[in-house]
Amino acid sequence: MTIKHKIVNIFSFFVILLVLLSICLIANILIQREYFTKYIEIRDKTSLFHNILQQITSQRLHFDYYVLIGEEKEKENFSISITKITQLINMLVKSNEKEVIKQKYMNLVDTAEKVFAEKNKQQRFSLAIQEFFPLYEDITVQLTKYISDCNKEGKRIQNFMFVINLISSILSMLIIILALFVSAKYGMKIYRSLIDPLKTIAEHTSVLAKGEYKEIKYQTGDEFDIVFSAFNRMVKDLKSLQSQIIQMDRLSNIGQLAGGIAHELNNPLVGILGMTQILNEKIPENSPLKKYVEKIEQAAIRCRDSVSRLLQFSRQKEYEYKEADVKEVVNNVLFIADSELKAQNVQVMTFFSENLPKIKISIPHIQQALLNIINNAIQAMETMDTKFLQIKTFLSKDNDNDYICVEIQDTGCGIEKENMELLFEPFFTTKDKSKYAGVGLAITKDIILHHKGKITVFSEGKNKGAKFTIWLPVKTK
């Protein structure tokens, strides 16, 4: 499983836990709110029943005083209490309880009015005992029962709220414990899946810095495998580059040696050429030695030209721009590559446009760029039956700028479409990496860019050859 999937999974798990915890808390709040509202209603209802009971008890005292002593003021107080008690009863929510209390209280009031209407004290006392007091006991017992029921209901709601709180707390604690467990277990795994590969990369980088080309054998099964693969490719490329640098150093030494030898050869060649020219002038035209002296002179001139080209190619590495004829530069490169072209049986065809203007270029560098492309073409045609190398020079215009173009076309193995964009990347090669570093075309592109030019490539695909075109500006800005 990749690190991305691990993080996504643990993040999703935490989101689910967070959602569950939120649902638990919200459900608890909603249930608590609903039952708290019921508890408040029960508490208010109980309070009303208590007030009604207290008012009725107080009203009975007024009734008792009136029955005993017959004082009219107590009767008035009783009547005032009726209004208060009726208001309290009406405050009750409509229910059977309200109707029962209201009906019983009205019966009690009617009986009290009957007692108040009796003028005979003895009869009044008897009527109170027989009718009023039983009704009073009945309504007080009923109110007491309602108060008891409300207290029980309130207690039940309180207990239920406590249980809900307890369950919610337990669930919340379980979710938190589960989250801590998962974060401790899988978080540590993710931590190790990050730290261990990073340590491995650091260790191998340290080894690489010491000059040891050690590849990473460690596998994680996640994104770090891509990093390890890239690191191993870098190690291989560095190995190849080191070999290439050694080879380039050898070639540089050979170039310096060749330059020295060329200088050494140049002096006696000048003497030979001078002597043959003197001999050629002194020998009569009809002498049989004349043709031999001319052959010696021609061979000396050819050797001199070869030494001159070799010296020119092995000279300075810094860019030194001089006016040059592109045709002459191409011919010099073909002369240098002549032995390799003949060894591979490559037929060369050249088409040079006439009257091309001279342009300012760094001759050794342009020769190097052309030679790199020609060498690549030779290697691309090694396994092909038909081996043709066609070189053209012509004048072209692009974006209102004039260019002298050198087109090099081969009949080699071609370039596949997916490799087109990688062709000029350093160290990219489709050939044997133990022999080739894949830097030739990258160096070529760099040389052309130094000349403010450009290089393009075209190929129809595998085994269909390739065409490289170098664009060199006629006038540089």
Instruction: Match 């721009």 to its residue by tokens.
Output: 321
Q: What's the whole-number average pLDDT of the chain?
A: 82
Neighbours of 142 (CB within 10 A): 17
Split at pLDDT 50, 70, 90, the class of 243 is low
Q: Which two tokens stand for residue 313?
A: 């190619």
Q: Distance between CA 61 and CA 57 in Å, rounded?
A: 7
Whether residue 148 is predicted with pLDDT greater than 90 in this model: the reply is yes
Instruction: Report the percent of the chain where pLDDT is more than 70.
Output: 87
Locate 3 and state its tokens: 């690190």
Q: What does the block give as tokens for 406?
A: 């050198």
Task: Calculate what percentage of the chain has a pLDDT beyond 90.
Answer: 16
Confidence of residue 398 (pLDDT cuts 50, 70, 90): confident
Answer positive or negative: Cα dihedral of 318, 319, 320, 324: positive
Q: What is the pLDDT of residues 112-144, one digit of tens each?
A: 888 888 888 888 888 888 988 999 999 999 999
Indicate if the pLDDT at residue 433 is higher than 60.
Answer: no
Q: Please give the structure tokens belonging to residue 395.
A: 């004048």
Dihedral pair phi/psi, residue 392, rounded to 5°: -125, 150
Q: Using 50, 70 and 90 to split pLDDT, how confident is the model at 274? A: confident
pLDDT category at 317 given cuts 50, 70, 90 is low
Q: pLDDT band at 20, cuts 50/70/90?
A: confident
Contact in structure between 408 and 341 (CB atoms under 8 Å): no
pLDDT at residue 415 tops 90: no
pLDDT for residue 394: 93
| Rounded distance between C-alpha atoms, residue 451 and residue 442, angstroms | 15
pLDDT of residue 308: 67
Flag whether pLDDT at 344 surpasses 80: yes
Task: Give the DSSP letter of residue 131.
Answer: I
CA distance 133 to 64: 10
- The arithmetic mean of pLDDT across residues 38-54, rounded, is 90
Domains contained in the chain, CATH given: 3-187 (1.20.120.1730), 223-315 (1.10.287.130), 319-473 (3.30.565.10)
Cβ 447 vs Cβ 361: under 8 Å: no
Q: Rounded CA gap, 361 and 474, in Å?
A: 10
Binning the chain into helix, strand and coil, the percentages to the nearest 5 are: 70, 10, 20
Provide the H-helix boundaries in 128-223: 133-209
- Mean pLDDT across the stretch 316-332? 84
Please, are residues 358 and 323 in contact by the beta-carbon 8 Å criterion?
Answer: yes
Write the DSSP symbol of residue 417. Answer: G
Would you place residue 241 in the very low, low, confident or very high pLDDT band (cuts 50, 70, 90)?
low
CA distances from 102 to 80, 141, 327 (A): 17, 14, 125
CA atoms within 13 A on the CB side of 260: 6
pLDDT bracket for residue 155 (50, 70, 90): very high
User: How much is the pLDDT for 147?
Assistant: 92
pLDDT value at position 390?
Answer: 93
Residue 469 has pLDDT above 90, yes or no: yes
Token representation of residue 253: 């030494």
Amino acid identity of residue 433, one-letter, is: K
Confidence class for position 436, pLDDT limits 50, 70, 90: low
301, two tokens: 């001139």
- Indicate the pLDDT class of residue 262, thresholds 50, 70 and 90: low
* pLDDT band at 417; cut points 50, 70, 90: confident
Least confident among 53-57, 272-276, 320-324: 272-276
pLDDT given for residue 404 in this prediction: 93
pLDDT at 305 over 90: no
CA 291 to chain centre: 80
Task: Return the half-sphere exposure (C-beta side, CA atoms, 13 A cut-off) of residue 397.
Answer: 2
Q: How many helices (H) and strands (E) does the chain have?
A: 11, 7
Choice between 452 and 211, residue whose per-residue pLDDT is larger: 452
* pLDDT of residue 253 exceeding 70: no
Local confidence band at 21 (pLDDT 50, 70, 90 cut-offs)? confident
pTM: 0.43
